[in-house]
Amino acid sequence: MRYANASFDACVSALAPDVIPEVDQVVREMRRVTRPGWTVASHIFDYWGAFSAADLVCDTASVLDEGMRSVRDHRKSRPLVWSNGQAEVWRRAGLEDVVEVPIVISFGYASFADYWSSFSTGLAAVDQRVEALSAEVHAEVERDVRAGYLAGLPDGPRSFAIIVRGVRGAVPQ
């Protein structure tokens, strides 16, 4: 970063560290530009069973599509997105009093159409892979995901709990 050492009282990153290849370097830079005694923090999605809205699509499509299976496996394979994964990076960067906590967020949808549309308009890897499916596989995935969403009930509102893992640490004095 093009900032002098100890330029800020805090340095925060939201939903970005899991898509940055050199996360250790980024956290060291966040530490460098933050004043001693102050906070470096971030949060990212917990992809290991705590992102139920996307897991329904990802797991269903993974049965039918090798590309989606690769996306799913990559998302879950990185220790950074596991419990205490960010905390470990913060400790390696020399931050003190590191705490990582789960934050539960509710994603609500008015109907299956509302839910399904969220996977056809986004830029996330899952969204892109859904859009890249052949017409036949796309229709099969949509049908199977619809069955999972409805779970034998009439169409209507559904809420999915998602965990974001937040971490913070202090720059040593």
Tell me the two tokens of residue 146. Answer: 């619809």
Q: What is the pLDDT of residue 94?
A: 98
pLDDT per residue over 97-144, tens digit each? 999 999 999 999 999 999 999 987 777 889 999 999 999 999 999 999
CA distance 94 to 106: 33
Domain count within the chain = 2
Residues 62 and 26 placed together within one structural domain of the fold: no
Residues 36 and 3 placed together within one structural domain of the fold: yes
Residues 94 and 131 placed together within one structural domain of the fold: no
Q: What is the amino acid identity at position 22?
A: E
Which letter, b or e, does each residue of 126-160 get, where b requires 16 or more Cβ atoms within 10 Å of its Cβ? bbebbeebeeebbebbbebbeeebeeeeeeeebeb
pLDDT per residue over 163-172, tens digit each? 999 999 999 9
Residues 22 and 53 placed together within one structural domain of the fold: no
Q: What is the pLDDT of residue 33?
A: 98
Q: What is the pLDDT of residue 40?
A: 98
Q: What is the pLDDT of residue 104?
A: 94
CA distance 97 to 31: 13
pLDDT per residue over 16-31, tens digit each? 898 888 999 999 999 9
Tell me the two tokens of residue 45. Answer: 């999605």
* DSSP-assigned letters across all residues of 41-105: EEEEE-TTT-BHHHHHHHHHHHHH-HHHHHHHHHHHH-GGGSTTHHHHHHHHTT-EEEEEEEEEE
For the cut 90, the answer to whether the pLDDT of residue 154 exceeds it is: yes
Residues 72 and 13 placed together within one structural domain of the fold: no
Rg (CA), the chain: 19
Q: What is the pLDDT of residue 171?
A: 98
36: domain CATH number is 3.40.50.150
Residues 21 and 39 placed together within one structural domain of the fold: yes
> Domain of 134?
48-77+111-156
- Within 13 Å of residue 114, how many CA atoms lie on the same side as its CB? 12
